[in-house]
Structure 1
Amino acid sequence: MLISIVIPCFNEEEMIPIFFQEMEKIRVKHHYNFEYIFVNDGSTDASLEKMRDLANHYDFVRFLSFSRNFGKEAALYAGLKHTTGDLITVMDVDLQDPPELLPDMVTIIQSPEIDCVGTRRSTRKGEPVIRSFFSKKFYSIINRISDTEMVDGARDFRLMTRQMVDAILELSEYNRFSKGIFSWVGFNTHYLAYENVERVAGETSWSFWKLLGYSIDGIVNFSDTPLNLAAFTGLFSCLLSAIALIFIIIRALIFGDPTSGWPSLVVIILFVGGLQLLSLGIIGKYIGKIFLETKKRPIFIIRETEKDKNKPK
């Protein structure tokens, strides 16, 4: 049974050899048949050279190198698309996805009732407090406003059957949010919990703002609640304005038409204008997603693979 391992990489020259050594311990100990697929997502360091070196020494190591940085979502999709294994797993090269969980995952997925074995962090020890807070809030919000359930703390690290991966590959949308896609396609998933593991070496390329933008994309991709919120906000603003207008007319009939009150008028104008801009921003976000989809641009462009022998070594 062949197990394909998809490993997205962006500036991970330090971690690639360490990750490979740790995974080889698992392969040798349990006599697994591995197929490594490293995806170089436009790295500017020596990540590609590390991949070339491994591919030259081991027939079961493959790599895809993008023409530029397309993002982790594109790297995941490209890696899954080029797998040939019976079972497929996605892992981060930083070893925050513990390789020692893989044997248990392989055992569990042997059950005919299980199509996927996912992993989730039971704790966020070592993670910045602000990031942990917003991560929990994201899962709380997305599960309230979306029909697609996402497990709090779930990682991309999961072992899937070929049937499930084929279903994922049928979703060739440009705007991708893999955590949502993994859940949307369905299939029976069993989750393994583990304590948070910090990076072994190198630095993460995910800043707080990148994660925040990624979260917003996830909400937009799997829920139309923000659009409904914009509509209800507009309706509420109209009703409030109508009530205020009736109040002003009644007050003028009873007490006359005072000239005071322009500060409150300015505040009301700014408030309504802000609501309009907020609603336009929400609508614009969805229109932008539609615009990118209609262009039909490729999700990724491959510059080099392990089969390109003429590339510089």
Structure 2
Amino acid sequence: MSKLSIVIPCYNEQESIPLFYPVVEKVVKKMPVKVEYWFVNDGSVDNTLKKLRKLHQEHPEEVHYISFSRNFGKESGLYAGLEATTGDYVVVMDVDLQDPPEYLPEMYQIILSGEYDCVGMRRTDRTGEAKFKSFLSDKFYDVINKISDTKIVNGARDYRMMTRQMVNAVLSLKEYNRFSKGIFNWVGFKTKYLPYKNVQRVAGTTDWSTWKLFKYAIEGITDFSEVPLSIATWVGGVSAFLSIVGLIFVIVRRLMEPSSSAFGWASMVCIMLLLGGLQLMCIGIVGKYIGKIYMQTKNRPIYIVKEKR
């Protein structure tokens, strides 16, 4: 009998955990697999860890958990969970049940056929989500797919089932700054996406604000594209060219009309502010990439475990 490992990152999910396990267990019991659960407590400040300890005590053979020493982020939680799994097939799911468990049997049958190495889920709508957040999400996929060689399917979730071979490939990437949606596609392997309609959280509130999603999007773009660096180079080049053209224009005008006065201090200030702003923007883009290199060269661990059962 094949073994299925389920990885569930958790951050302040004390309300969702007691609801998640019975719903998923009801589905996987109908599948011809042996199941292990790996919950990852990402430095929660509520009673998440207590709920996981209780669940482990009730089901010591199936339920396991990893608790971090502090909050390291969902990407670290995913990596830790994948690293702990021992199954032939691995599933990544959210604990809030926004990833419908009823698709697990279908995902398993598809991946068992041997035609695909991964079966992922893709949302076809964003019902219940703020329109502005949905707009930004759509634009993110448009931008990153235009400037990156690693294509990411619009609406694709982390919710997916993978073969052990693909999981090992993902784990072989030891980079400190991680963007799993891109990594899952970068490692290759044949993937099939199943469409589904958006599902609301079963309990609790999301920790992903619009600002956090925006920062996450920036991380994804800088992790899988060098285009921002090219943009900075072009902006600098164009600015320098325009400055030279402007300088030539001022000199020629002064020679042809000696009595003409300068354009005025206001125009000069605006030009200086424009050029200064462009320079700072370009330095910021370069600094973002240098910062990633700096963090990688430190060789800090992706996560630190405080408790594991």
If the length of structure 1 is used for normalisation, what is the TM-score? 0.96
- Helix, strand or coil for the counterpart of 1:74? helix
Cα displacement string for residues 13-60 of structure 1 (whole angstroms, at most 9, x for unaligned residues): 110010001011102233432110000000111111111111112111
User: What is the distance in 2 between the residues matched to 1:50 and 1:126?
Assistant: 28
Comparing 97-106 with 256-265, which one deviates more in the overlay? Answer: 256-265
Provide the C-alpha distance between the structure 2 equivalents of 1:28 and 1:177, rounded to a whole number of angstroms: 32
**In structure 2, what is the equivalent of residue 265 of structure 1?**
268
CA apart distance, 1:112: 1.7
Once the two structures are overlaid, the 10-residue window that deviates more, 255-264 or 227-236, is 255-264
Q: Give the ranges of 4+ consecutive aligned residues of structure 1 lying more than 6 Å apart after TM superposition.
A: none
Whichever residue aligns with residue 76 of structure 2, its letter is: A
Q: Alignment partner for residue 125 of structure 2, among 114, 123, 146?
A: 123
| 1:259 to partner: Cα distance | 3.8
Per the alignment, residue 56 of structure 1 pairs with 57
Alignment of 1:1-313 (within 5 A): 1-58=2-59, 59-256=61-258, 257-306=260-309
Range that drifts further, 22-31 or 296-305? 22-31
Any idea what the Cα deviations from partners look like across 1:46-75, whole Å, max 9, x if unmatched?
A: 111111111112111110000111000000
Range with bigger deviation, 241-250 or 178-187: 241-250
Unaligned runs of 5+ in 1: 307-313
Whole-Å separation in 1 of the counterparts to 2:13 and 2:262: 67
CA contact (8 A) 2:28 2:104 kept: no
Aligned with 2:30: secondary structure?
A: helix
What are the Cα deviations for residues 290-310 of structure 1, in whole angstroms up to 9, with x where unaligned? 11000000000001111xxxx
Counterpart CA distance in 1 for 2:254 and 2:68 is 69
Indicate the SS of the match to 2:98.
Answer: coil
CA contact (8 A) 2:27 2:102 kept: yes
What is the aligned residue count? Answer: 306
Give the residue type in structure 1 aligned to 2:87.
G
Q: Which runs of 5+ in 2 are unaligned?
A: none
1:261 Cα deviation from its structure 2 partner = 2.1
Equivalent residue letter for 1:4: S
Counterpart residue identity of residue 269, structure 1: M
TM-score (norm 2): 0.97
SS at match of 1:14: coil
Write the letter of the residue equivalent to 1:225. V
CA distance in 2: counterparts of 1:56 and 1:302, whole angstroms: 19
User: After alignment, is 139-148 or 239-248 more displaced?
Assistant: 239-248
Sequence identity (%): 58
CA positional deviation for 1:234: 0.3
Paired letter, 1:73: E
The letter of the residue matching 1:196 is: N
